[in-house]
Amino acid sequence: MSLGIRDISNKPRLLPGTSACPGCPENIALKAISMALGENAVFIVVAGCSSIIQGMGPKSTYNYPVLNIAFAAGPAAAAGMAKAFKLRNKDIKPVVWAGDGGTADIGFASLSGAAERNDNILYICVDNEAYMNTGGHRSGSTPFGAKTASTPGGKKENKKDLPFIMIAHHVPYVATASVGYLHDLMDKIKKARSIEGFSYVQVLTPDPYGWMFDPSKTAELGKLAVQTCYWPLIEYENGKLFISQESMHCLDKRTRKPIKEFLKLQGRYKGVSEEVIRGLEDYIDRMWERIKSIYEGKVIL
Amino acid sequence: MMSKVISGNEAVALGVKLSRVKVIAIYPITPQTYIIEELAAMRDKGELDAEVIRVESEHSAMAAIYGAASTGVRVYTATASQGLLYMHEMVWWVAGSRIPIVMTVGTRAVGAPWNIWNEHTDFMSERDSGWIMTFASTPQEALDLTLQAFRISEDERVFLPMMVGMDGFILSHTKTRVYIPSQEDVDEFLPPRKQPYTLDPEDPVDIGNMFQPIDYMKFRHSIHLAMLHSIDVIKEVGKEYEKKVIPIGSYSTLNDSYKLDDAEYAIVSMGAWSLDVMQVVDELRKEGIKIGLYRIRYVRPWDEEDIKKKLGDKQGILVLDRSVSFGRGGHLYLELKSTLPEANIKGVVTGLGGVSIGKDMILPLTRKFIEGNTNNEWFYPSEVEKVELRNPRYIK
Ligand code: SF4
């Protein structure tokens, strides 16, 4: 397969026959990410959809060595593994694959610990904005106003800003990506893979099951999230923040697509009030003010 | 071989170093903290060739060494009390994946209320997790069992993790003379680790993924069988240890006994106070009472056959427990009762939360038992007669 990008592996790393739902964003992300990662990686899969997507043992659809692990333990297991590989002089990258619940909520202490120690691991958070594998419950990463199984009236709080929290850990590399822009995602994974130390990539993975949209529209939702500036594509390296090309237009409020275009395709925002929409717009405005300040060097994180 | 006056914690740290461990996860919790501090210091001075990872919790400590061990290297950590409970989930995960790991538990009471002193409830509450569980009675034994633990847990008939218990403060902080084997002797006894499944891109395997119920149950059964098989392995390793490493221990059986063969009565105990029990036995023997000690060294595997053989014919058995299953009784008592349902067994729960119980208290307890005046009971030397809660009140 050639996508016109250099240095990617075309050896299939996600084999056919996964147990994912139709239109699953994690499947898409996993395929792209493994192309960018190449061979010398081990996956540490934290409880979530990805524990199921690989299928029933003893077979597996992940063509990588995989250590499946309990919810809160991924980064620590990866850290131990990194030490062991270092000792054996092996250039093998432990890659944690976790959902937003495992990252923002239950696994956060362990993630924060690994980041603070600058363990030589790559942490990928696939953010589908709820506990989709357990019936679509809200997580710390669920956005304001979204209806979930545990917030049937819509979530009252904003999304936890994980990328910025990770930047505040002084780690070498933090990036955000979306399954709507796979080239960008692969570039960032390649960069993260090459970093010596801790790197964090959070991929927005719109989930047809939990967000309630037509499974053919996963990539479209991934694009709209970026175009409406709800999901910024950024990179943070060596103390500097970069805004990816696809998100540059967000710096100016006038060139952002209205958030309604992103919301109208999703069942979880069906029939929401104008107040919720204003709340989300407000969230986006404030987020971009912050990004701008850091980008222009006015605020140092 | 040389000898030194050191604490249980120091003895264990030396054992870990001699075992040529490769990755160590450290997190402080009283009373084992000294072990990991000592290991960190050894590493700093270049005496220890291992990667030390300073984790942010016990849950992560177990996860970190699990991750490292899954790549095929030898690993270690230590914990106690709340820490062991906090890592409980990962303790199970490790056994379920059949990954050999060795861990020390410096036993300590569990809150609430806060209490830092010795008790075995933390240790005993892991007995269903699939770990091999051994318990030392002296700093020497803590060292010996640590060295043996790596061999036993890495034996291909076993492949189960193993925890070595040691009475908090009583053994962890008390200094006694300990024989320390030479590196050469340990190297001969403990070869490099071998593992059938390691995480390596050259040979991709998956560990811990979802299995069908029938396969899952087969996995559980395999742990059960491995636990049973480990009885032979423990004896083999123990004998070899006596021969190759330190020729003074007695490790040819899982559990130990003292003046038991001709005894009519037996006391069953585990850990440091077993040495007090030996003095009680001597005292009562002077009075012509035929009594002996059966010391539990292995909680898992449970050596049912040996217990039946050594205790089956006794007139009375008194079990001292430093841990409790609330509403049921001491853990060892319950285990003994299920092994010997017909026997005259009485259990005493005592010494919880560091309540000091020595020979002077065990002696009257034993007399009372021999006189036939003991029911299963709680014993604590104190003026407190009744445990009371405050009066309940309505919240307006
Ligand atoms: S719930 Fe969502 S993330 Fe999980 S398998 Fe289905 S589509 Fe994929």
ipTM (interface pTM): 0.94
Best residue among A52, A126, A133 to mutate for probing ligand 1's pocket (most ligand atoms within 8 Å of CB) is: A133
Say yes or no: CB of residue A184 within 6 Å of ligand 1: no
pLDDT in tens, chain B (396 residues): 899 999 999 999 999 999 999 999 999 999 999 999 999 999 999 999 999 999 999 999 999 999 999 999 999 999 999 999 999 999 999 999 999 999 999 999 999 999 999 999 999 999 999 999 999 999 999 999 999 999 999 999 999 999 999 999 999 999 999 999 999 999 999 999 999 889 988 888 899 999 999 999 999 999 999 999 999 999 999 999 999 998 887 899 999 999 999 999 999 999 999 999 999 999 999 999 999 999 999 999 999 999 999 999 999 999 999 999 999 999 999 999 999 999 999 999 999 999 999 999 999 999 999 999 999 999 998 776 677 788 889 988
Kindly give the distance from the C-alpha atom of residue B220 to the centroid of ligand 1, in angstroms, as a whole number: 29
The pLDDT assigned to B336 comes to: 98
| B24/chain A closest Cα distance in angstroms | 9
| B267/chain A closest Cα distance in angstroms | 42
Chain B residues with CB under 8 Å of A92 CB are 200-201
Kindly give the distance from the C-alpha atom of residue A99 to the centroid of ligand 1, in angstroms, as a whole number: 10
Provide the mean pLDDT of chain A.
94
Best residue among A18, A51, A53, A218 to mutate for probing ligand 1's pocket (most ligand atoms within 8 Å of CB) is: A53
Kindly give the distance from the C-alpha atom of residue A128 to the centroid of ligand 1, in angstroms, as a whole number: 8
Residue B109 contacts residue B121 (beta carbons within 8 Å): yes
Kindly give the distance from the C-alpha atom of residue A27 to the centroid of ligand 1, in angstroms, as a whole number: 8
Residue B84 contacts residue B122 (beta carbons within 8 Å): yes
Atom 1 of ligand 1 has which residue's CA nearest to it? A132
Distances (CA, A) of B257 to A92, B191, B266, B306, B343: 50, 30, 10, 11, 18
Task: Record the tokens describing residue B167, joined without a space.
Answer: 């009475």
Distances (CA, A) of B175 to B11, B64, B178: 9, 31, 9
Closest CA relative to residue B260, chosen from B286, B287, B278, B244: B278
Cβ–Cβ below 8 Å for A66 and B204:
yes
Closest CA relative to residue A114, chosen from A200, A56, A12, A42: A200
Residue A222 contacts residue A204 (beta carbons within 8 Å): yes
Decide: helix, strand or coil at residue A147. coil
Half-sphere exposure of B267 (CA within 13 A, CB side): 34
HEC sequence for B320-334 = EECCCECCCECHHHH
Cβ–Cβ below 8 Å for B209 and A57:
yes
| A77/chain B closest Cα distance in angstroms | 4
The pLDDT assigned to A3 comes to: 53
Closest CA relative to residue A81, chosen from B228, B309, B67: B67
In the block, residue with structure tokens 């069992």: B145
| A114/chain B closest Cα distance in angstroms | 8
Split at pLDDT 50, 70, 90, the class of A301 is confident
The pLDDT assigned to A1 comes to: 40
Say yes or no: CB of residue A201 within 6 Å of ligand 1: no
Sequence-distant (≥ 6) Cβ neighbours of residue B262 within 8 angstroms: B290, B292
**Chains A & B: contacts with CB separation below 8 Å:** 156
Kindly give the distance from the C-alpha atom of residue B9 to the centroid of ligand 1, in angstroms, as a whole number: 49
Q: Which atom of ligand 1 is nearest to the CA of A208?
A: 7
- Among B67, B200, B203, beta carbon nearest to A44: B67
Distances (CA, A) of B51 to A87, B59, B139: 7, 19, 25
Q: Which amino acid is it at B60?
A: S
In the block, residue with structure tokens 């853990």: B331
Chain A residues with CB under 8 Å of B71 CB are 42, 81, 84-85, 88
| A209/chain B closest Cα distance in angstroms | 21
d(CA B107, CA B172) in angstroms, rounded, equals: 9
| B122/chain A closest Cα distance in angstroms | 21
Closest CA relative to residue A99, chosen from A190, A235, A207, A247: A207
Q: Which atom of ligand 1 is nearest to the CA of A132?
A: 1
Distances (CA, A) of A209 to A24, A206, A213, B267, B321: 8, 9, 7, 62, 53
The pLDDT assigned to A12 comes to: 79
Give residue A105's Cα distance to chain centre.
14
Half-sphere exposure of A112 (CA within 13 A, CB side): 12
Kindly give the distance from the C-alpha atom of residue A132 to the centroid of ligand 1, in angstroms, as a whole number: 6
Cβ–Cβ below 8 Å for A64 and B204:
yes
Task: Record the tokens describing residue B191, joined without a space.
Answer: 């070869």
d(CA A241, CA A239) in angstroms, rounded, equals: 7
In the block, residue with structure tokens 């107040």: A275
Kindly give the distance from the C-alpha atom of residue B175 to the centroid of ligand 1, in angstroms, as a whole number: 58
- Res. A5: pLDDT tops 70: no
**Residue A98, preceding peptide bond in cis (omega within 30° of 0):** no
Give residue B346's Cα distance to chain centre.
23
CB-based burial of residue A198 (10 Å sphere; 0-12 exposed, 13-18 middle, 19+ buried)?
Answer: buried
Nearest residue in chain B measured CA to CA from A106: B59
Q: Give the mean pLDDT of A3-16.
A: 75
Decide: helix, strand or coil at residue B24. strand
Residue B231 contacts residue B254 (beta carbons within 8 Å): yes
Interface residues from chain B to A (CB-CB < 8 Å): 22-23, 25, 51, 53-57, 59-73, 75, 89-90, 93, 199-201, 203-212, 215
**B132-135/B298-300 β-pairing:** antiparallel
- C-beta atoms surrounding B56 within 10 Å: 19
Give residue B108's Cα distance to chain centre.
12
- Among A65, A70, A87, beta carbon nearest to B204: A65
Say yes or no: CB of residue A203 within 6 Å of ligand 1: no
Task: Record the tokens describing residue B365, joined without a space.
Answer: 């307890």
Chain B residues with CB under 8 Å of A116 CB are 56
Cβ–Cβ below 8 Å for A113 and B205:
no
Decide: helix, strand or coil at residue B254. coil
d(CA B254, CA B230) in angstroms, rounded, equals: 10
Atom 5 of ligand 1 has which residue's CA nearest to it? A20
B129-155: pLDDT as tens digits: 999 999 999 999 999 999 999 999 999
Conformational region of residue A294, where left means phi above 0, alpha means psi within -120 to 50, and beta covers everything else? alpha
d(CA B250, CA B5) in angstroms, rounded, equals: 21
The pLDDT assigned to B381 comes to: 86
d(CA B196, CA B191) in angstroms, rounded, equals: 16
Q: Give the mean pLDDT of A180-196.
A: 97
Atom 7 of ligand 1 has which residue's CA nearest to it? A24
- Among A57, A76, A92, beta carbon nearest to B63: A76
Q: Where are the alpha helices (DSSP H) in B190-346?
A: 213-244, 274-286, 304-311, 331-339
Q: Beginning with the edge strand found earlier in the chain, give each strand of the sheet holding B345-350 in spatial order.
A: B256-258, B291-295, B265-269, B316-321, B345-350, B377-379
**B75-79/B23-26 β-pairing:** parallel
Q: Give the mean pLDDT of A49-62.
A: 90
A87-119: pLDDT as tens digits: 999 999 999 999 999 999 999 999 999 999 999
Say yes or no: CB of residue A128 within 6 Å of ligand 1: yes
d(CA B112, CA B378) in angstroms, rounded, equals: 19
The pLDDT assigned to A2 comes to: 45
Beta bridge partners of residue A279, listed in sequence order? none
Q: Give the mean pLDDT of A19-43.
A: 94
Say yes or no: CB of residue A129 within 6 Å of ligand 1: no
Closest CA relative to residue A142, chosen from A65, A211, A67: A211
Kindly give the distance from the C-alpha atom of residue B394 to the centroid of ligand 1, in angstroms, as a whole number: 48
